[in-house]
Amino acid sequence: SRMYLVCPMNTSPQVDPHKSGQDVWEEFSHSFTPAVREVVEFAKKIPGFRELSQHDQVSLLKAGTFEVLVVRFASLFHVKERSVTFLGGQKYSVDALRTMGSGDLLSSMFDFCEKLMNLGLSEEEMSLFMAVVLVSADRSGIENVNSVEALQETLIRALRSLITRNHPNESAIFTKLLLKLPDLRSLNNMHSEQLLAFKVH
Amino acid sequence: FNDPASNLGLEDIIRKALMGNLEERQE
């Protein structure tokens, strides 16, 4: 039985059947590491993030990196043509990915990315939204909830004011954006389950 | 397996990427 890794953070879904599980994992890890580093660099630039404790910085990044990457790479999911571009640059149709074993997570990612892209946000709005996604006081293992909560509130206020200024006639956009947060959580949970299954396999 | 981020090496990548400026803070 042929194995596939249908994650667009991978260079390609094809897995060399001659490689050991460890090698496959190392190659995959090598391909997503730069994107994770980018998220850390992004976090460092969020005003106030570096003032949080080291423990809380790590906890927020551990819990939220996947969600930030989904927002950051939403444009890899081409809703109209039903295809996904992998980081290696190759495009794969949803049908092809389905035959490789992708399931509900891929469909849910498409739904999410379509709705997010339809909001037509600017790069600045997307960045501020990613900061709000990352700085969430209800992540597990946060030791100073008050500090994270205070930073989260500041970021949400800044996002609201930016959206209100840029879209004065579309007051629902801010609400729609906040409603994306639970959607991201559920994608994150589905993704963790798949990673676990992969690791166990 | 309760903490996929740690198991999958994500924590290590995050800590290394953060380390530079965390060391600055400690000085």
- How many angstroms separate the CA of residue B17 from the nearest CA in chain A? 6
Query: In whole angstroms, how far apart are CA A75 and each of A37, A51, A83, A104?
Result: 19, 32, 11, 19
B12 in contact with A, Cβ within 8 Å: no
- Identity of the amino acid at A114: E
Residue of A nearest to B6 (CA): A62
Nearest to B5 among A29, A54, A62 (CB): A62
pLDDT given at position A139? 95
Alpha-helix runs per DSSP H in chain A: 21-44, 54-72, 94-99, 104-118, 123-134, 145-166, 172-178, 180-200
What is the SS3 assignment for B8?
Answer: coil
Task: Record the tokens describing residue A175, joined without a space.
Answer: 């609400």
d(CA B19, CA A103): 37
Residues of chain A contacting B21 with CB distance shorter than 8 Å: 44, 50
d(CA A86, CA A177): 26
Q: Which residues pair with A93 in a beta bridge?
A: A83
Annotate A144-173 with b (16+ C-beta within 10 A) or e (fewer): eeebbeebbebbbeebbebbeeebeeeeeb
d(CA A132, CA A140): 16
Main-chain dihedrals φ then ψ at residue A93, nearest 5 degrees: -75, 155
**What DSSP character marks residue A138?**
T
Q: Give the ipTM of the model, two decimals please.
A: 0.83
Cβ contact A195:B8 at 8 Å: yes
Residues of chain A contacting B7 with CB distance shorter than 8 Å: 199
Give which of A199, A7, A108, A8 is closest to B3, Cα–Cα: A199
Per-residue confidence of chain A (201 residues) as pLDDT tens digits? Answer: 567 888 888 888 888 888 887 888 888 888 889 999 999 999 999 999 999 999 999 999 999 999 999 999 998 999 889 999 998 899 999 999 988 888 889 889 999 999 999 999 999 999 999 999 999 999 999 999 999 999 999 999 999 999 999 999 888 999 999 999 999 999 999 998 887 777 666
Cβ contact A139:A63 at 8 Å: yes
